[in-house]
Amino acid sequence: MRIKLTSYIVTWLLCAACALSSAFSQNSVQNQLPTGSLFSAEELSKGFNNHQFTPFGDPKFSLEILVPSGWESHLSDVDPGQITHDTDAPVPMIEFYPNGADDLGVNVQYMRVPGEKPVSAFL
């Protein structure tokens, strides 16, 4: 079973960030965040590759993402019904993982905010 980092993790991180901002002053939280480049240009060129995707064959979903060298990536298998109900549940878009790994990977998903709801109510 592949462990997947999903939008649920992102949602949790956003909620944690909101909780931190109310518990600590904004300056103390910002001082803990990394700033500047985490990798040099040389490290990026040696250790990562650009992967381009057009999920669902739709250019409005096109994206480019840096993936560590030696990792595999592919578009996720999606049932058309999942896209139709993208306000109800996250829809998988892309998966990438280290070569040969069956217990680690990243799953990129999206979920559309219903037009009648503010983003704050959605998260």
User: Measured between alpha carbons, how far is 86 from 56 in angstroms, rounded to an integer?
Assistant: 13
Does 115 have pLDDT greater than 60?
yes
3-class state of residue 91 by DSSP:
strand
CA distances from 57 to 33, 42, 63, 85 (A): 36, 33, 12, 18
Q: Give the predicted TM-score (pTM) of the model.
A: 0.62
- pLDDT interval class at 94 (50, 70, 90): very high
* Model pLDDT for residues 38-76, shown as the tens digit of each residue: 888 899 999 999 999 999 999 999 999 989 999 999 999
Amino acid 47: pLDDT: 93
Task: Compute how many other C-beta atoms are within 10 angstroms of the C-beta atom of residue 106.
Answer: 19
Q: What percent of the chain has pLDDT over 90?
A: 41
